[in-house]
A and B are shown apart, each in its own frame.
Chain A
Amino acid sequence: MKVVVFTKQTFDTEAKITLDDQGKINPEGVSLIINPYDEFAVEEALRIKEKTKGEVTVVSMGGPKAQDVLRQALAMGADRAVLITPELEEMDEYTTATILARAVSRMEYDLILGGWRAIDDGSAQVAGRVAEILGLPVVNMVIKLEIDGGRALATREIEGGSEVVEVPLPAVITAQKGLNEPRYPTMKGIMQAKKKPMEKLALSDLGLTAEEVVPKVRALKYFLPSPRAQGKIVPGEPAEAAAALVRLLREEAKVI
């Protein structure tokens, strides 16, 4: 069984996000991690590999630093990695999905896994778009996955319960929290990762041009949540203070 996993490098969940003078998200000094939902996908791929004597290829698109997440996946046990560095100024989900779909179409695969969303932009579109381009079924937000011959049985959360769906392979499956508990890489795994193949591709290696992947959506503006305003203490005798508080809630905060 050959499994391809999409892994994105995202900001650390603890990172403090700031904007630069152009109003863009400032990547300086922010520590980067593997998108946690993609980590579930990597873990699931490794479990499938261990059961079926399969092979796991991890694919990431991003800058050269994205190698770090690929090395982590290799250290966890993936067999090979593909790093795509398109070097584009502007990208959207269409851009990403077009490039990833093209990259995967050059590979052999029975299953494509990814996180259901990235914790940074949170659009939850890429896996679905890739499935559409490749003409594959897609199951989102999966919390349990069983592979049986040429089919996948996937359990997904739905409002108020769970649903079990069956799809023929190859298929695209996206991971939700709860699918598994990702392993840590081991020291040995970290050493072995160095020796595993990492293919590096530019846009032109995939036969694509920048014009073909021009984004269809453009972010107009980023802004940070307004800082929490200072609390206010209403002084005075309890009865008076309560009356003053109600007045403030009604007139100033306009919440009652």
Chain B
Amino acid sequence: MNFDLPEELQDIKRLARDFAVSEVLPTVDADDKAHRFRRDLVEKMGELGFLGCVIPEEYGGNGLGYLALAILAEEIARVHSSLRIIFAANTLGPAITIWRHGSEELKQKYLPGLTSGKLLGCFAMTEPNAGSDVASMKARAVLEGDYYILNGSKMWISLAPVADIALVYAYTDPSQRAKGMSAFIVDMKSEGITVEAITEKLGNWSSPVGTITFENCKVPKENLLGREGQGFAICMQQLDNTRLASAAGAVGVAQACLDAAIEYANTREQFGQPIGRFQMIQDMIAQMCVDIEAARLLTYRAAFLKDKGVPNTLETSMAKLFASEAANKCADYALRIYSAYGYSEEYPVARFFRDAKYYQIVEGTSNIHKLIISQDALGYRKANRSS
């Protein structure tokens, strides 16, 4: 047992913080209020190798691993939650999935772009009537000659309005239920694709989200990942990965709330003393400190297991559940501490409060994670199975 971060991970944490403070922080407020997605920042992150952590060097990555990625995602989210999406939309969504299940041609074609940030990815499972129940999706892909003909509509797809490629899940054989689902890489410039941005949403304003409609969209058959019928398994594995970036992002938001709360509690005075001197404020600060520490350790453990290459669905679920609840509690407490000034758009706490909500919903709602964890504990359904 060892809780020390190795030197290179300490250096990575310092680099990520430095980058976030110097490159992201100066414009974060303006970017967020303008709902501006900063593709240029994504490219800068790509140049520094932020998006290549779990991809080997031969495909443009650096193989530093999941823990390195979790550290980066936390530090980026600590400054701007919206920007964190790229760790899921590129690296842990399409890139790692292509690397695991794609042909050599697909790897050559897409991985260097996804790891450098020159290409933007997204992943699409959710549909208007298929949220938590992923297997209830309706999208269909039918093989005709050299192409799969894709039909269906996906909703709430992060980065859909700006993405170059999408990892799309659809049924090739609906009669087989989950065993009839398949996964594809789709070029977003293909004919038969319409994207509509969802412009009015609660938070994560600088992370565009949209609806994708496929109407007889031709997908080259080489773009199938794995084999037909493996889609659901690939999807569950992908969620296991993207959940790590969510957990890390939630830790970042929680930390941002604590940073802000401490600063304010030390400066705001009421009844002749800094409000930090009141025990009820101290109670909130203490709870925030402990929740963040616990969330971070759970997240690090999930990442550590991924780096070891052992099954980790249960631990990842625990990290994602705890960290997203912690982010929301910390955002709530930070807002209480800031009070009216937290309610105002002049301070970043209102943004943290809006952005925190996202983490309870995506990649399995908190309820879904409770299901995974409790069913495992009760012996109904083991969470960790080697795939």
Contacts and interface: CB of A to CB of B under 8 A. Distances in A.
Given A191-B62, A191-B64, A184 B18 contact: yes
A190 interface: yes
A71 B11 contact: yes
Interface in B207-260: none
A184 B48 contact: yes
A163 B271 CA distance: 58
Contact of B48 (A68, A71, A187, A193): A187
A174 interface: no
Contact of B50 (A68, A75, A187, A191): A187
Contacts of B47: 186
Contacts of B50: 187
Interface in B123-156: none
Contacts, number: 41
B8 interface: yes
Nearest to A189: B49
A187 B18 contact: no
A192 B7 CA distance: 12
Contacts of B64: 187, 191
The winner among A72, A187, A191 for most chain B CB atoms within 10 A is A187
B352 to A, nearest CB: 20
Assign chain A's interface to a size class: 10 to 19
B310 interface: no
A53 B286 CA distance: 54
Contact of A190 (B11, B18, B19, B52): B11
A10 to B, nearest CB: 15
Interface residues of B, number: 18
A54 interface: no
Contact of A194 (B8, B19, B68): B8
A194 B49 CA distance: 17
A72 B11 contact: yes
B7 A187 contact: no
Contacts of B10: 68
B88 interface: no
B52 to A, nearest CB: 7
B377 interface: no
Contacts of B62: 187-188, 191
Contacts of A185: 11, 15, 48
A60 to B, nearest CB: 15
B285 interface: no
A1 to B, nearest CB: 26
B193 interface: no
B53 interface: yes
B48 A194 contact: no
Interface in A187-216: 187-188, 190-191, 193-194
B53 A187 contact: yes
B195 interface: no
A184 B12 contact: no
A18 B354 CA distance: 37
B15 A193 contact: no
Nearest to B9: A190
A194 B62 CA distance: 14
A68 B19 CA distance: 17
Contacts of B68: 187
Contact of B49 (A68, A71, A186): A186
B79 to A, nearest CB: 15
A186 B46 CA distance: 10
A72 B48 CA distance: 14
Contact of A75 (B11, B19, B52, B53): B11
Interface string B33-65: 000000000000001111011000000001010
The winner among A75, A185, A186, A190 for most chain B CB atoms within 10 A is A190
Contact of A184 (B8, B15, B53): B15
Interface string A167-195: 00000000000000000111110110110
Interface string B1-38: 00000011011101100110000000000000000000
Nearest to A187: B49
The winner among A72, A184, A185, A194 for most chain B CB atoms within 10 A is A184
A72 B68 CA distance: 17
A69 to B, nearest CB: 11
Contacts of A75: 11, 15
Contacts of A187: 12, 15, 48-50, 52-53, 62, 64, 68
A231 to B, nearest CB: 13
Nearest to B61: A187
Nearest to B6: A194
Contacts of B14: 72
Interface in B328-346: none
A186 B64 CA distance: 12
A16 to B, nearest CB: 11
Contacts of A71: 7, 11
The winner among B11, B19, B49, B68 for most chain A CB atoms within 10 A is B11
A93 to B, nearest CB: 28
Contacts of A72: 11, 14
A72 B49 CA distance: 16
Contacts of A184: 15, 18-19, 48
B150 to A, nearest CB: 35
Nearest to B22: A184
Contacts of A68: 10-11
Contacts of A191: 8, 62, 64
A142 to B, nearest CB: 23
Contacts of B8: 190-191, 193-194
13 contacts: A68-B10, A68-B11, A184-B19, A185-B11, A185-B15, A185-B48, A187-B12, A187-B48, A187-B62, A187-B68, A188-B62, A191-B62, A194-B8
Closest 8 pairs between A and B when the two form their complex, measured CB to CB: A187-B49, A187-B62, A190-B11, A186-B49, A186-B48, A188-B62, A190-B8, A188-B49
